[in-house]
Structures are given as C-alpha cells and as structure tokens.
Amino acid sequence: MEWVEITATTIEDAKALALDRLGIDDGDAEFEIVEEPKAGLFGRTRGEARVRARIKPNSVRAKADRRDRRGKPAGERTGERSTKPRQERTERSDRGERQERSDRGPRKERAPRQARPERAPRAERTPREDLPPVDPTTVSAVATTFLEGLVSAAGLKGSVSAKVEGENIDIDVLGDDLGFLVGTKGATLLALQDLTRVVSQRRLGDHETRLRVDVAGYREKRREALSRFALKVAEDVKTSGQARALEPMNSSDRKIVHDALTEVDGISTRSEGSDPFRRVVVALASISEDSESVSDSE
C-alpha cells in the first residue's frame, strides 16, 4: 500500500486526517512522523506537524499455520512423511512386484545365447605391383579423357594432345587463357599433374610409365627462363667469388638449375633445406668437387 502524507497543526490531528483519508481504524494503520511542530514563545508552537501513513501490511502466517486443501497444517503433513520408515515403503514396493509377477505366471527361462560363428579371414587383395604391366597407350588415353573433362568443367576452351615414346607420356593442354591451370610459379600445374597421375596411373596399377603434363607450353618457357637466370647467377658468383642461394623452388625448377649449370666450368650447385623451403646454392667449385657430381637427383 502506498503512503499518504498529511500536514496539520498537531501530530494527533495529522493522524486523524490520515485515518479519514485511508478509511481505516487506528489499529490497521502504520504511521511515520516526518516533522513535529516546535515550541515557541509564550507556549505557542512554530511550524506544522507532518505525518506519513499507510494501511498496515498483513503479516505472513507461519508455515505451521498454513493448511492445505484438506485442512491439515503443512508442518503436520511434512512430519508424517518424514516419520514414515523407508523400509516400510521398500517392503510395500517389493510386495507389489511379487504380486505382479504371480499374476503373470511362472517366469520363462531365457534360452542360452548362441555363440556367433567365427568370420572367415578376409582374403588379402593382390597388390597392384603383382598385376601385369599396363599399356602406356591405355594410361595416355585415360589421362587425356580426364584432362578434357576437367578443362570443360572449368569453363575453359582448350584441346588436349598426348605423345607416347616408350614409357614416357607427355600430355599438353593447349589453348588461350589457361593461366588458371598454371598458377603462381606453376604450383597449380604441379597439382594438376599429380591428380592426373592418380586418375590414370594409380587406378590402373601402372608403375612403369613416366607421365608429364604441360599447359600452354609453360614448362618449356619456364625452362628457358630459369636456364638464362642460372647462367647469369653463375657469372656473378665467378666475379664476386661469393656463393649465392636462390629462392626456394620445387623439385622440377631445382633440376632445371642443376642441369643448366652442370657444364659451366668452375661452378658447382647443391640443394639445401627442406621442402617447401629447399633452395639451390650456386658456388665456386673446388678441386675436390670437380671430380664429383654435386647436383641433386631431383
């Protein structure tokens, strides 16, 4: 209930006015004196009395006085439940279960579980290496079909040609705007070659042929550019006498550098590091290195 604030000459008058406004008796009201009048000269008072009043809130009955719908105190119900022995409830439950079993009749004995028959050992597959050699022409045809489908699925225009010489299979994808299949420094081309080898060689069980994939003559252009660059680096090393480490390259590009500098007098090459950060180091050849092969078998 909200408070009402009354101002009067005396505290008693303010309380009486508050009771009239609330419409209750004195016993049902709660008062709070805000300000009292002060005594003045000659027995007179100064100021006014201010009183706040509201209907007294109903007190909450104790739990013991609360009753449920049947008229029993809540405390009594709680006490009855807490005093019932758990054993009595368990026994009653057991009697109910036994009665239910007797109504069902005698219990049927469960048949013993039969052991599962042992599975026959799985026959070992014949490894691919034991299969007869695959005709390189067949490998070439499967690789060509795969690349033609890939070019078409990519929305590119191009043709695929293959050349088979003994165990060497060279497949070229020719056309315009095929840079998508080459990628940065031929990274996509290498992935395309690996995928083509999986589709054609591994699925057919071919372990003899050597398959190479090229796109728009990229490999030949890359070989020529790397060879010219390697020769220039070799001349710089001869002039300065200081070894020079090239940027990291894949195995194909490293082999191009090694091959380009094999016949250059006074120059040796070696590879250092681990993929994908393996690189070629071009240095002056020592006397002991002149009689050795220092290039990688990439």
Q: Indicate if 73 and 145 belong to the same structural domain.
A: no
In a domain, residue 144? The reply is yes
Confirm whether 37 is domain-assigned.
yes
Q: For residue 74, what pLDDT is reported?
A: 47
Please name the residues in contact with 198: beta carbons below 8 A apart, sequence gap of 6 or more.
Answer: none
User: Is the residue at 297 inside a domain?
Assistant: no
Residue 152 lies in a domain: yes
Q: At what angle do helices 251-261 and 218-240 cross, to 10 degrees?
A: 50
Which of 51, 68, 83 delimits the end of a domain? 83
Residues in a beta bridge with 210: 168
Q: Is the pLDDT of residue 111 over 90?
A: no
Give yes or no for residue 214 having a pLDDT over 70.
yes
- Give the CATH number for residue 173: 3.30.300.20
User: In this structure, how many other beta carbons lie within 10 angstroms of the beta carbon of residue 209?
Assistant: 23
- Could you tell me if residue 96 is inside a domain? no
Residue ending a domain, choose from 48, 83, 118: 83
- Percent share of the chain, pLDDT over 70: 68
Domain at 249, CATH number: 3.30.1370.50
Decide which of 216, 240, 266 is a domain's last residue: 216
User: What is the spatial distance between Cα 74 and Cα 68, in angstroms, rounded to a whole number?
Assistant: 6
Question: Which amino acid is located at 218 in the chain?
Answer: Y
- Residue count of the chain: 298
Same domain (yes/no): 1, 79: yes
- Same domain? For 228 and 206 the reply is no
Question: Residue 284: is its pLDDT beyond 60?
Answer: yes
Q: Is pLDDT larger for residue 250 or for residue 83?
A: 250
**Count of domains observed in the chain:** 3
Residue found by looking up tokens 């000659």 in the block: 42
Q: State the average pLDDT for the chain.
A: 78
Average pLDDT for 243-271: 92
> Is 138 inside any structural domain?
yes
Residue type, 70: R
* Rounded (10°) angle between helices 136-153 and 187-197: 130
Q: Is residue 212 domain-shared with residue 245, that is, in the same domain?
A: no
CA distances from 120 to 114, 116, 125, 127 (A): 18, 12, 15, 20
pLDDT at 125: 47
Let me know whether 209 and 141 are in one domain: yes
* 151-160 LR contacts (CB < 8 Å, sep 24+): 151/175, 151/181, 154/180, 154/181, 156/180, 156/181
**Are both 200 and 264 inside the same structural domain?**
no
- Rounded to whole angstroms, the Cα distance separating 162 from 174 reads 11
Question: pLDDT digit string (tens) for 158-187?
Answer: 899 999 999 999 999 998 888 889 988 888
Q: Is 54 helix (H, G, I), strand (E, B) or coil?
A: strand
pLDDT of residue 29: 83
| Residue 112: inside a domain | no
What is the residue range of 30's domain? 1-83
- The conformation of residue 67, written as its DSSP 8-state character, comes to B
Q: What is the spatial order of strands in the sheet that 168-175 belongs to?
A: 158-165, 168-175, 210-215
Q: Is residue 107 part of a domain?
A: no
pLDDT band at 79 (very low <50, low <70, confident <90, very high): very low
